[in-house]
A = this chain, B = another copy of it.
Amino acid sequence: MKTELKEAYGFLFENELLEEIAECGTVRKIDAGERIIEFGDYVTGMPLLLNGAIKIMREDGDGDELLLYFIERGDTCAMTLNCCMGQTKSEIRAVAETDTTMIMVPIAKMEEWTARFKSWRNFVFESYHNRLSEMLDTIDTIAFLNMDQRIMKYLRDKAKINRDENVQSTHQQIAYDLHTSRVVVSRILKKLELDGKIKLHRNQIRVIDL
């Protein structure tokens, strides 16, 4: 664990802090597709991603979903930060996009580290900064792009996160993530295929040129 920790966070934190994290944190391994945090859960610790990727979703009262953004190694979930500090319920759902390893840090340590370590403060601020930027990006996407463009962006992002030009998704899955209907997704994907931008297969979409 220490090796991985150092690999992912060594350039961010001083040794003393790394030691403390290693000491009081617990490693948690999660399989792709597993739910990590559910809407309304109380958050008991703060996750530091070692590898893998996590998908953050929003859900409204009627059970409608929307993908917000992905989180990768060297990152934490600022929403979780939020919940930790405010002792409030989670406003989002977190699902493992790929097999994922993370270190869970007890909330109690956070306040202490914030006072003691400048690098920790910077990390937390940086984290908030990144999250706000992602949220702005998400807003741009749903406010200014039409569905064709949103689907293209989705496929690009997903291919990048998984480091694989073959995106493993059903049309229904994509529809859920983008908060639209399966038929709409199928229709647009077919058009993208005719334009030579993608190649469609069962449960899989190959990104050619988006």
Contact = CB atoms under 8 A, between A and B. Distances in A.
Given A85-B129, A86-B129, A121-B114, A139 B68 contact: yes
Task: Give the number of copies in the complex.
Answer: 2
Interface stretch (A19-27, A58-66, A181-189, A201-209): A58-66
A140 interface: yes
B129 A58 contact: no
B60 A125 contact: no
A79 interface: yes
Interface string A62-103: 101010100000000011011001100001100000000000
Interface of A: 58, 60, 62, 64, 66, 68, 78-79, 81-82, 85-86, 91-92, 114-115, 118, 121, 124-125, 128-129, 131-133, 135-136, 138-140, 142-144, 179
